[in-house]
Structure 1
Amino acid sequence: MAVLPLKTIGDPILRSKAKEVENVNERTREIIKNMKDTLHENEGLGLAANQVGILQQIVVISIEDEEIVLINPEIVEKEGRKLMEEGCLSVPGRQGAVPRAEEIMVEYRNEEENQQRRKFSDLAARVIQHEIDHLKGELFVDKVVDISSAAPEKEPGSVE
């Protein structure tokens, strides 16, 4: 078991774009195994490679007893929109409401280098969108919506 150290907000690698994986080899499989170990050790739902200092387009998610590896993932369709609280292993102690699509269609390669196309919804869709943002050098804190600004303004002289 190899648990990798997590990069946290302020580390420039989190703002860097990950490169496409050309081919899946033993080194790639070792990275994936270490990412899975790191994800489970930190009790996360998803992990992008740049969160452990590796600028490759690899995402590992673990939701509802299913572990999914996405290599070079690309969202090709989005449906719906929902605002929910998010947190991040790389931004400890902070949470915020982020709007995300409720359903997505993703094209990616798996560990065996097979091209996949799969629909994800609800929590899995949210986690995948969050992790793909990491691969682009984006953090959830960039997308947090201040819902207090959406509150209706008070009428002059009104009392709460």
Structure 2
Amino acid sequence: MAIYKVVEVGNDVLREKAITVTKLGPHIDKLLDNMRDTMYANQGVGLAAPQIGVPKRVIVVDIGKGLVEFINPVLAEKDGQQIDSEGCLSIPGLVGDVVRAEWVKVKGLNRAGEETELEATGFLARALQHEIDHLDGILFIDKAKNLKRV
């Protein structure tokens, strides 16, 4: 598969609301595969399609416990609160503390077009929220406190 250059802050695609995927097929499978490969090549834990310049509602996440893929993900429920440091492949060298829900339920489609949902806590919940924010043009720096260079 292909490894893409990650789009960095300042590129308009990162601030746009991504388009809902209406047709699945080989092109979405290829997009998911390329996003996975790009995420791993950049040692990331998540990637949203806009981060490779594709304004579609598609995310991949792997916090070290296996790959999670969502097409048209929706944050269906959330509860609790956690605060932790975040960074982003699209904003290299910058980290900050972000308040997120401790528990989330995400619903969407898998690559077979089947409705799927996932309940997550802790770091996985944080990563899913971070990537879903990307689909709405929201970057972690919009929510972060104590931003610093690393």
TM over 0.5: yes
Residue aligning to 2:77? 77
Q: Look up the SS of the partner of 2:19 in the other structure.
A: coil
Q: Distance in 2 between matches of 1:64 and 1:55?
A: 26
Listed as ranges, the gaps of 5+ residues in structure 2 are: none
- Cα deviation for residue 145 of structure 1 reads 2.3
Residue aligning to 1:53? 53
Residue aligning to 1:130? 130
Whether contact under 8 Å (1:23, 1:113) holds in the other structure is: no
Q: Which runs of 4+ in 1 moved over 6 A?
A: none
Whether contact under 8 Å (1:103, 1:122) holds in the other structure is: yes
TM-score of the pair, normalised by structure 1? 0.89
Residue aligning to 1:7? 7
Is 1:39 the counterpart of 2:39? The answer is yes
Is 1:87 the counterpart of 2:87? The answer is yes
Cα RMSD over matched residues? 1.1
Residue aligning to 2:18? 18
Structure 1: which amino acid aligns with 2:46? Answer: G
Q: Look up the SS of the partner of 1:37 in the other structure.
A: helix
Bigger Rg over Cα: 1
% identity of equivalent residues: 38
Listed as ranges, the gaps of 5+ residues in structure 1 are: 148-160
Q: Look up the SS of the partner of 1:63 in the other structure.
A: coil
Is 1:97 the counterpart of 2:101? The answer is no
- Cα deviation for residue 146 of structure 1 reads 4.2
TM-score of the pair, normalised by structure 2? 0.95
